[in-house]
């Protein structure tokens, strides 16, 4: 078995202790993860701080070339990464490979991006230019649903713009980040990227560390609020990518079965554990029965199994805490609504919940109001478009959403009225590194990806110059 180590100041190190990492398909340990204590966290931040001036002074083309090398090395080991990702996260191997290749493309996309200085004024001998300078040490804190690509969304822009980093993965999916640390050790100067692992004890200390300039956080809204409060003390920069409760609004001019197939994919990929998964679907009353029936047919045909098995379409829930949360939502939904497929955890080891379609719930049901983060989709009916838009917007979340309609102009008009950071029309989950991504309301602060995502790792630096008049 591979000996996983943390990367601190260019050295691959054991922890001060270690802990088991479970495979969610068996609920059995399959590897040990090194665990950092506070002194190792301090050492990682200190290494990143020491590396910062040299890295920031390295020409951007050279930094970008090294980020492109990271992409090449990741691609060369894609099969190894995908297999490890399936073991620790649970997702089917083809979806794991998709995440790894998405990570490669993300790094390459950022390696190709630049921010040019802008001339803001050039008049009467006065020249005002805006430069963008790096911030310093960036702490990247990531969750367990996409443990690889959510690191790359942060690492690509942070490194290209000249920052150094400490990466802290989620305790249940730390290993792919550690494996990536091995690549960083081969490619980057010591201290530019460091990795530390914990069991949820070090996140707050890292976010509050006086030598951390920015916290790039992806995770739940509850933890994001804590990160923001912790960062307030040092007036640190934060980006928060938080939870969502994305609505799909189906319009009345579609073939319900065709759209149900697309909505199913958007709700059930990664066993529903996607921040922008479809988490509730609103369907015109006239199409409701057909739509629900098609979803149930698809759900019944799913192959729910270990993600390492060829042909699996739905893997396990990633961890026991989330598994218990989804089961509690199912118990409640069984009382309040009609379950058309699934509805019970599988009677086998591991955290398996089959894809579940629930109809006839009211808007107050916890499965509708809360973020389920599992393969369970509530389908609600509506009569009036203004009313359904209000229902979709009645949420503290504002991450994504989708509108489905044959009349593209009308569907786009509806999309404009959804109060979220992204709304897809006739598609869903279309995220790539060149398009900015950010949450509205309690789904986030600041954003990632795109050129705007690059700016988030920099500080505006204004140079306002006039010539000295002749003496
Ligand atoms: P979580 O908030 O429990 O944990 C995320 C990370 O924060 C982990 O690394 C954890 O160790 C760390 N952490 C815990 N306490 C901390 C503290 N006090 N200070 C700093 N860090 C701390 O989230 P999770 O359960 O791992 O992930 C699921 C959530 O992430 C869902 O709500 C999902 O919607 C959200 N998510 C959002 C996006 C997005 O881009 N908006 C993407 C993926 C997941």
**pLDDT tens column, 323-346:** 999 999 999 999 999 999 999 999
% residues pLDDT > 70 (the chain)? 100
Burial of 393 from C-beta contacts in 10 A (0-12 / 13-18 / 19+): middle
Write the residue with the smallest CA distance to atom 20 of ligand 1. 203
In short, whether 223's Cβ falls inside 6 Å of ligand 1 is yes
**Residues near 123 by beta carbon (within 8 Å), at least 6 away in sequence:** none
Q: Annotate 1-59 with DSSP letters as a single string.
A: -----EEETTEEE--SEEEEEEETTTTEEEEEEEE--HHHHHHHHHHHHHHHHHHHHS-
- Residue 81: band (very low, low, confident or very high) from pLDDT cuts 50, 70, 90: very high
Cβ–Cβ < 8 Å for 186, 69: no
Q: What's the whole-number mean pLDDT along residues 193-218?
A: 98
Mean pLDDT value of segment 165-174: 98
If you average pLDDT over residues 58-64, what whole number do you get?
A: 98
Cβ neighbours of residue 198 closer than 8 Å, sequence gap 6 or more: 35, 36, 168, 171
C-alpha of residue 240 to centroid of ligand 1, in Å: 9
Segment 15-40 shows an average pLDDT of 98
Please tell me if the CB atom of residue 246 comes closer than 6 angstroms to any atom of ligand 1.
no
Q: How far is the CA of 1 from the centre of ligand 1 (A)?
A: 28
Give tens-digit pLDDT for 436-462: 999 999 999 999 999 999 999 999 999
- Tokens at residue 109, please? 């996309």
Phi, psi of 18 (to 5 degrees): -150, 165
* Domains of the chain with bracketed CATH: 6-242+443-463 (3.40.605.10), 246-425 (3.40.309.10)
For the cut 80, the answer to whether the pLDDT of residue 127 exceeds it is yes
pLDDT at 34 over 90: yes
Structure confidence at residue 295 (pLDDT): 98
CA 409 to ligand 1 centroid distance, Å: 36
Residues near 384 by beta carbon (within 8 Å), at least 6 away in sequence: none
402 DSSP β-pair partners: 248, 424
Q: Token pair of 274, please?
A: 């996607």
* 116-128: average pLDDT: 95
Q: What is the mean pLDDT of the chain?
A: 97
Q: For 413-419, what is the mean pLDDT?
A: 98
How far away, in angstroms, is 294 Cα from ligand 1 center?
33
Q: Show contacts of 75-83: CB within 8 Å, 24+ apart.
A: 75/101, 75/104, 77/179, 77/183, 78/104, 80/179, 81/148, 81/176, 81/179, 81/180, 83/308
Res. 1: pLDDT tops 80: no
Look-up of token digits 């705007």: 452
| The pLDDT value given to residue 126 | 96
pLDDT value of position 469: 86
What pLDDT does residue 203 have? 97
Distance CA 3, CA 155 (A): 24
Q: Which atom of ligand 1 is nearest to the CA of 200?
A: 11
Q: Whose CA is nearest to atom 40 of ligand 1?
A: 241
> In this structure, what DSSP letter does residue 467 have?
P
Under DSSP, the state recorded for 470 is P
Tens digit of each residue's pLDDT (9 = 90 or more) over 225-264: 999 999 999 999 999 999 999 999 999 999 999 999 999 9
Is the pLDDT at 471 greater than 90? The verdict is no
| 205 closest CA partner among 141, 131, 287, 297 | 141
The model's pLDDT over 135-153, given as tens digits with 9 standing for 90+, comes to 999 999 999 999 999 999 9
Determine whether the shortest distance from the Cβ of 173 to ligand 1 is under 6 A: no
């Amino acid at each position: 078995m591979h000996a996983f180590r943390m990367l601190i100041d260019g050295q691959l190190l054991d922890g001060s202790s270690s802990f088991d990492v479970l495979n969610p398909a068996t609920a059995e340990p399959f590897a040990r993860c090194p665990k950092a204590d506070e002194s190792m966290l301090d050492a990682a931040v200190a290494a990143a701080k020491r590396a910062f001036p040299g890295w920031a002074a390295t020409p951007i083309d050279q930094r970008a070339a090294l980020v492109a090398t990271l992409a090449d090395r990741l691609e060369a080991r894609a099969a190894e990464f995908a297999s490890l990702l399936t073991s620790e996260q649970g997702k089917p191997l083809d979806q794991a490979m998709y995440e790894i290749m998405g990570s490669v493309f993300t790094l390459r996309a950022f390696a190709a991006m630049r921010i040019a200085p802008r001339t803001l004024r050039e008049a009467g001998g006065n020249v005002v230019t805006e430069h963008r300078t790096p911030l310093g040490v960036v702490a990247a804190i990531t969750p367990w649903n996409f443990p690889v690509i959510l690191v790359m969304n942060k690492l690509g822009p942070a490194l290209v713009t000249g920052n150094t980093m400490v990466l802290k993965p989620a305790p249940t999916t730390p290993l792919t980040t550690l494996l990536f640390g091995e690549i960083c050790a081969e490619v980057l100067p010591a201290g530019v990227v460091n990795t530390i692992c914990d069991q949820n004890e070090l996140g707050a200390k890292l976010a509050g560390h006086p030598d951390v300039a920015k916290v790039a956080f992806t995770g739940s809204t509850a933890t994001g609020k804590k990160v923001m409060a912790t960062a307030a003390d040092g007036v640190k920069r934060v980006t928060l990518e938080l939870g969502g409760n994305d609505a799909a609004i189906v319009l009345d001019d579609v073939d319900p079965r065709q759209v149900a197939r697309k909505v199913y994919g958007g709700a059930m990929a990664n066993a529903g554990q996607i921040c922008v998964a479809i988490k509730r679907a609103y369907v015109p009353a006239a199409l409701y029965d057909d739509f629900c029936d098609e979803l149930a047919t698809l759900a019944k045909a799913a192959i729910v199994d270990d993600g390492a098995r060829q042909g699996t379409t739905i893997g396990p829930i990633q961890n026991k805490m989330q598994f218990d949360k989804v089961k509690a939502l199912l118990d409640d939904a069984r009382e309040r609504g009609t379950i058309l497929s699934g509805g019970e955890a599988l009677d086998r080891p591991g955290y398996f919940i089959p894809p579940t379609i629930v109809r006839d719930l009211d808007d107050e049901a916890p499965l509708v109001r809360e973020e389920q983060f599992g393969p369970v989709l509530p389908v609600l009916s509506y009569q009036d478009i203004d009313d359904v838009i209000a229902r979709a917007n009645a949420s503290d979340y504002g991450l994504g959403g989708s509108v489905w309609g044959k009349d593209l102009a009308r569907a786009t008009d509806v999309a404009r009225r959804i109060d979220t950071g992204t709304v897809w029309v006739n598609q869903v989950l279309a995220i790539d590194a060149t398009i900015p991504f950010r949450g509205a309301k309690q789904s986030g602060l600041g954003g990632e990806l795109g050129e705007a995502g690059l700016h988030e790792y920099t500080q505006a630096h204004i140079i306002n110059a006039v010539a000295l008049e002749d003496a």
